[in-house]
């Protein structure tokens, strides 16, 4: 029988045997997967582990601060934060194709991460990745032939071939709910373990069409209100993922005596067990109404909110 406790014990022994006295680095994204992977490896080898968090400027409101609090303050992990927001914005300037965005974000991440990794020291031999089972199967062709890319998830096999690190992927055979239980068993705070998944390219694929600082700021504000209202309605844990999407469409509205012509915001919320299939979440209408009112009133640049009622398949969870 699989239990988180037995899993941790077994993986800790494996990691210790694999690593010996070498130094290990881990890229933290702020999400559940990399957090649990980091905490597990930290349990095994303590301060032989250094974590690197790349602030790509595509994060949710206060996300970076939350990661710093959890990992540095709460877990006492050696954490280095690199602010590379401008580099990512530059790489995304004028790009509107979703796969090109992913590639640019992925490549920029690798450049920034490799530089940070080098600064940790010459004796780094291993890299921790929070790869899960669904990541593995969505990235590999079922026939073993050339893989059909649905979406290029840059957290699988994305580093350059000449990277000299061996991979530690302790979660490779787990599903999300199992990973959460491992995290709880490791003592990670519930606000971290229970977090909705968040994609590596972040808000970069939730600003539809080209990405700018201004659009990111608008989306970040709306997204924060959306999640705040979901939490205060007590619905956060019933939802697999909820997020806002800024559409490159303007619509006419009226505010006081003024005609407005501003952007449309789409809200997405889905239920799922592994992200591979999903249903749209049935919000109580009054909650949707409250969210919409607050966003339109409080966020300059949005005058209309719509709710996405598509399931996966045939729609994907993300819009890009
Ligand atoms: P889709 O949109 O393919 O998403 O239904 C399935 C799950 O994967 C996440 N996702 C990504 N995660 N890099 C990631 O790390 C990506 O490029 C990416 N694209 C989608 C998505 O948020 C959902 O949880």
Tell me how far apart the alpha carbons of residues 170 and 210 are, in angstroms, rounded to a whole number.
36
Identify the burial level of 145 via C-beta atoms within 10 angstroms of its C-beta, where 0-12 means exposed, 13-18 middle and 19 or more buried.
exposed
Of the candidates 85, 65, 111, the one whose C-alpha atom is nearest the C-alpha of residue 212 is 85
pLDDT surpassing 90 at residue 139: no
Tell me how far apart the alpha carbons of residues 190 and 70 are, in angstroms, rounded to a whole number.
11
Q: What kind of architecture, by CATH, is found in domain 4-193?
A: 3-Layer(aba) Sandwich (3.40)
Instruction: Report, as an integer, the average pLDDT of 284-291.
Output: 98
Query: Could you report the per-residue pLDDT of 198-221, keeping only the tens digit for each?
Result: 999 999 999 999 999 999 999 999
Q: Report how far apart, in Å, the C-alpha atoms of 270 and of each of 35, 204, 291 are.
A: 23, 20, 16
Other Cβ atoms within 10 Å of 156 Cβ, number: 18
- In the chain, domain spans: 4-193, 206-307
* Whether the CB of 318 sits within 6 Å of ligand 1: yes
pLDDT surpassing 80 at residue 160: no
Tokens of 244: 């806002």
Q: How confident is the model at residue 141 (pLDDT cuts 50, 70, 90)?
A: very low
pTM over 0.90? The answer is: no
Confirm or deny that 111 is annotated as ligand binding: no
Query: Could you report the per-residue pLDDT of 12-67, keeping only the tens digit for each?
Result: 999 999 999 999 999 998 889 999 999 999 999 999 999 999 999 999 999 999 99
The pLDDT value given to residue 158: 52
Expressed in angstroms and rounded, the spacing between residue 198 Cα and the centre of ligand 1 is 8
Query: Could you report the per-residue pLDDT of 80-125, keeping only the tens digit for each?
Result: 999 999 999 999 999 999 999 999 999 999 999 999 999 998 889 9
The pLDDT value given to residue 5: 98
Tell me how far apart the alpha carbons of residues 262 and 249 are, in angstroms, rounded to a whole number.
8
**pLDDT above 90 as % of the chain:** 82
Of the candidates 129, 230, 142, the one whose C-alpha atom is nearest the C-alpha of residue 179 is 129
pLDDT surpassing 90 at residue 296: yes
Q: Is the ipTM of this complex over 0.90?
A: yes
Confirm or deny that 301 is annotated as ligand binding: no
Partners of 39 in the beta sheet?
none
The pLDDT value given to residue 122: 86
CB 131 within 8 A of CB 172: yes
Tell me how far apart the alpha carbons of residues 226 and 198 are, in angstroms, rounded to a whole number.
15
Tokens of 318: 């993300």
Q: Please, what is the average pLDDT of the chain?
A: 91
Q: Indicate the class that CATH gives domain 206-307.
A: alpha beta
Expressed in angstroms and rounded, the spacing between residue 154 Cα and the centre of ligand 1 is 10
* Whether the CB of 155 sits within 6 Å of ligand 1: yes
Type and span of the H or E element at 264? strand 258-271
DSSP letter at 73 equals I
The pLDDT value given to residue 140: 55
Q: How confident is the model at residue 151 (pLDDT cuts 50, 70, 90)?
A: very low
Q: Is the peptide bond before 74 cis (omega within 30 degrees of 0)?
A: no
Confirm or deny that 251 is annotated as ligand binding: no
46: left (phi over 0), alpha (psi -120 to 50) or beta: left
The pLDDT value given to residue 135: 79
Grouping H, G, I as helix, E, B as strand and the rest as coil, residue 306 is: strand
Expressed in angstroms and rounded, the spacing between residue 318 Cα and the centre of ligand 1 is 6
Expressed in angstroms and rounded, the spacing between residue 122 Cα and the centre of ligand 1 is 33
């Amino acid at each position: 029988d699989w239990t988180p406790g037995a899993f941790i014990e077994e993986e800790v022994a494996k990691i210790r045997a694999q690593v010996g006295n070498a130094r290990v680095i881990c890229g933290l994204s702020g999400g559940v997967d990399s957090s649990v992977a980091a905490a597990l490896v930290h349990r095994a080898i303590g301060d032989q582990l250094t974590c690197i968090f790349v602030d790509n400027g595509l994060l949710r409101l206060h996300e970076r601060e939350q990661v710093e609090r959890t990992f540095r303050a709460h877990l006492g992990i050696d954490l280095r934060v690199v602010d590379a927001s401008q580099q990512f914005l530059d790489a995304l300037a004028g790009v509107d194709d979703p796969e090109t965005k992913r590639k640019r974000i992925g490549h920029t991440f690798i450049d920034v991460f490799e530089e940070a990794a080098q600064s940790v020291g010459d004796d780094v031999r291993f890299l921790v990745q929070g790869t899960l089972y669904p990541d593995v199967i969505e990235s590999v062709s079922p026939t073993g032939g050339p893989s059909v890319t649905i979406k290029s998830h840059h957290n699988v096999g994305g580093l350059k071939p000449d990277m000299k690190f061996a991979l530690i992927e302790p979660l490779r055979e787990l599903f999300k709910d199992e990973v959460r239980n491992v995290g709880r068993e490791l003592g990670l705070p519930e606000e971290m373990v229970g977090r909705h998944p968040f994609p590596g390219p972040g808000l970069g694929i939730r600003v539809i069409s080209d990405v700018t600082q201004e659009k990111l700021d608008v989306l970040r504000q709306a997204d924060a209100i959306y999640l705040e209202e979901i939490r205060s309605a007590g619905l956060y844990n019933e939802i697999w993922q909820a997020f806002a999407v800024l559409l490159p469409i303007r619509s006419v509205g009226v505010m006081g005596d003024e005609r407005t012509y501003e952007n449309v915001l789409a809200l997405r919320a889905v239920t799922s067990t592994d992200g591979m299939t999903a249903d749209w979440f049935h919000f109580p209408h009054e909650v949707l109404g409250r969210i919409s009112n607050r966003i339109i009133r409080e966020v300059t640049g949005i005058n209309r909110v719509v709710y996405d009622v598509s399931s996966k398949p045939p729609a994907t969870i993300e819009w890009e």
